[in-house]
Amino acid sequence: MFRVGMGYDVHRLVDERPLILGGVNIPYTKGLEGHSDADVLTHAVMDALLGAMALGDLGTYFPDNQEEYHDISSLELLSRVAGMMEQQGYRLVNLDSVIIAQKPRLLSYTGQMKDNLAGVLKVFSETVGIKSTTNEGLDAVGAGEGIAAQAITLLEYTATTTNNR
């Protein structure tokens, strides 16, 4: 049995924060505002995984009003979601994602992002797709006020019992 999940996240760009995407610290004059490290790519991936397993969304498991998640690495949170995936009997078949950012240019960082996500999810880097695009100057993301990401995942149920699946 296969399950598809979709995820989306967006955060505002602000001064005096690091810009973390896919676990990579990208040199830029601004970073993303958020309770954790605000890694929109990893957040979208986690929501896609949780959605494919029909387990709700990121805020259900890692609420932004709990101190234990303040400035936490999103890769650490992804590791926890990967544990849920394993516990539920799923394996990742593939992941595709897109980062929408007017600036900075991200092409030279996507390889490391793929390696980071694949490492945490315990899959080959070829299983992970990451693209980046601009919003052609349209809306708040296009005006450089924020960065968004979308992800879609395909999971395969691998457990030996059906458990009503």
Q: What is the pTM of this model?
A: 0.95
For the segment 60-114, what is each residue's pLDDT rounded down to a tens digit? 999 999 999 999 999 999 999 999 999 999 999 999 999 999 999 999 999 999 9
Distance (Å, whole) CA 121 – CA 44: 14
- Indicate if the pLDDT at residue 164 is higher than 90: no
At 23-73, the pLDDT tens digits run 999 999 999 999 999 999 999 999 999 999 999 999 999 999 999 999 999
At residue 50, φ and ψ (nearest 5 deg) are -60, -40
Mean pLDDT, all residues of the chain: 95
Q: How confident is the model at residue 159, as a pLDDT? A: 77
- Report how far residue 96's alpha carbon sits from residue 8's, in angstroms, rounded to the nearest whole number: 12
State the pLDDT at residue 160.
Answer: 66
The superfamily in CATH containing domain 2-157 is: 2-C-methyl-D-erythritol 2,4-cyclodiphosphate synthase (3.30.1330.50)
Domain boundaries, the chain: 2-157
Give 121: exposed, middle or buried? Use CB within 10 Å, 0-12, 13-18, 19+: buried
